[in-house]
Amino acid sequence: MDTNKKRFLKNICKYCVSNYMVSNSSPIMSSLIYHICKFLDMDSMAVQGIVTLHINEFSSKSFAHCFNVCDGIIIDASIYEYALINRRISHIIPMYIVDSIPYNISYTVQNEIPVDYRFKFSNKFVNNIINEIKFVDDIYLGKFNLIDDAKKKNLFYCR
């Protein structure tokens, strides 16, 4: 994957995390990333699977999760939701994942989210997001909590 494509995917994740609620939003967030990529003729499957957080050598937690796969790499803009609900282990969870997966996190892809079950977004909404992302070189992300997350826009109502 070329660096421009990877940088754009990172900016999509940063944009989503900074503007939309992360908590309980993995299916809708992965659908949004799918639609943005589709709009730009990039193949980014929205998939259902399992994310496993390896806390230490004796303990791990697994969660059902939705994320994207593009050119064989993982794109996950909603992984931070597990830091919000598991504050004890928030230090091991990144804000988002594009390509390089931390050693303590593993993904298992189970199946692609069927087209009928993906959230739909208007072309105008997706185009507005793409235009906003294109004009932002770098989006700053800082750690946040459930209260800060709840103040963000809910993607369910934005479509």
pLDDT digits (tens, 9 = 90+) for 102-123: 999 999 999 999 888 888 999 9
Residue 135 has what pLDDT?
A: 74
Q: Inform me whether the pLDDT recorded for 152 exceeds 70.
A: yes
pLDDT at position 136, please? 72
pLDDT of 139 over the 80 cut? no
DSSP string, 51-113: EEEEEETTEEEEEEEEEEEETTEEEESSTTHHHHH-GGGGGG--S-EES---TTEEEEEEEEP
Q: What is the pTM of this model?
A: 0.91
DSSP, res 158: H
Structure token pair of residue 70: 């593009």
Q: What is the mean pLDDT of residues 142-152?
A: 90
Neighbours of 65 (CB within 10 A): 22
Q: Position 38: which residue type?
A: K
Q: Which residue has the tokens 């900074």?
A: 18
33-80 pLDDT per residue, tens: 999 999 999 999 999 999 999 998 889 999 999 999 998 899 999 999
